Amino acid sequence: MALGGKLGASVTLVHVVEPAAPLARMDSVVLARPDSEIAAMARLRLEEMARQEGQAVPRASSVVRTGTPFHEIVLIAEEREVDLIVIGTHGRTGLKRVWLGSTAERVVRHAPCPVLTVPTREHARRSSRPAPFRIAKILVPIDFSAISVDALPYASRLAVEFGASIVLLHVVKRFPIEGLLGAELVGQILVPTMLQAESDLERIAADLRQATGAKVSAVVRAGTPHEVICRVAKSSGADLVVLTTHGYTGLKHVWMGSTAERVVRHASCPVLAVRELAWRNP
């Protein structure tokens, strides 16, 4: 809500009621509330939230739907031609994650617009009031592909709007068979690659400094991309990670996943995921 107020945007609060399975209805008919009653209660709660935030966000409204959460969220975004979806993440893992995914990750994969995911924090659940919204440092992973650079217009605009600094990060992937190659040979391959990446990243940083006037630094690390991104985000004190997602679906996504969605799952700070080509009309 605070971001909407800062940017002067309208905000739509959304709650999706998942319909109870038929067997669940039969087994718990006395204990379970009807979907219509749950939806009515959710609508009242959202309307109350909209009224409470009315001073900060004058154009706040609410929508309650019944269905599959990620599908309804994406559908509402398409119907209303929204510019940004903001959604919380729960950080689930294990087999349920592999086969079912999470609502946040599915929204990232299918949304027609950028998605800002916000991790659930223990202190936030204990506090009656949310922490003040701030963006002082933005981390932008870059792999030098045209797609990864698509994140820069968003990071630049946010840096200017909030007076934030930008950290550009490139991760050089390590070899799965490094143990067989030996440390000397690995170094002969890795060091020149990292030096070249530092040079290329610094050129992008220089252009960004000139365009935004922001403080921009360049960092190169070696490792597994999503692990390094999350680690650097935490160690650098980043308030936001901005990256692009390829939007893979089907078996390729089930077995391979995506760096963006893994970062969404594990990052300790909010992540702004920008769909490929979406930046052409930010």
Q: Which tokens go with 120?
A: 């659930």
Q: How confident is the model at residue 6 (pLDDT cuts 50, 70, 90)?
A: low
Q: For residue 178, is pLDDT > 70? A: no
* Cα–Cα dist 22/132, whole Å: 43
Measured CA to CA in angstroms, residue 274 lies from 5, 115, 259 at distances of 21, 7, 13
Average pLDDT, the chain: 78
Top pLDDT among 113 and 185 is at 113
Q: Delimit the CATH 3.40.50.620 region(s) of the chain.
A: 85-280
pLDDT digits (tens, 9 = 90+) for 107-152: 988 899 999 999 876 534 444 445 567 899 999 999 998 888 889 9
Residue range 85-280 forms a domain whose CATH class is alpha beta
Q: pTM for the full model?
A: 0.79
Q: How confident is the model at residue 38 (pLDDT cuts 50, 70, 90)?
A: low
Q: How confident is the model at residue 175 (pLDDT cuts 50, 70, 90)?
A: low
Give the range among 38-52, 63-77, 115-129, 260-274 with minimum mean pLDDT. Answer: 115-129
Identify the pLDDT of residue 259.
86
Residue type, 162: F
Nearest to 33 by CA among 17, 45, 46: 17
Over residues 83-95, the mean pLDDT reads 73
Q: Which tokens go with 66?
A: 């019944």
Over residues 239-248, the mean pLDDT reads 84
* Cα–Cα dist 78/250, whole Å: 21
Q: For residue 254, is pLDDT > 50? A: no
Q: For residue 92, is pLDDT > 90? A: no
Identify the pLDDT of residue 52.
65
* Cα–Cα dist 203/201, whole Å: 5
Q: How confident is the model at residue 278 (pLDDT cuts 50, 70, 90)?
A: very low
Which residue is associated with the tokens 């709660």? 45
Identify the pLDDT of residue 265.
87
Identify the pLDDT of residue 125.
47
* Cα–Cα dist 118/138, whole Å: 14
Q: How confident is the model at residue 248 (pLDDT cuts 50, 70, 90)?
A: low
Q: For residue 207, is pLDDT > 80? A: yes
**Which range is most confident: 58-72, 89-103, 168-182, 209-223?**
209-223
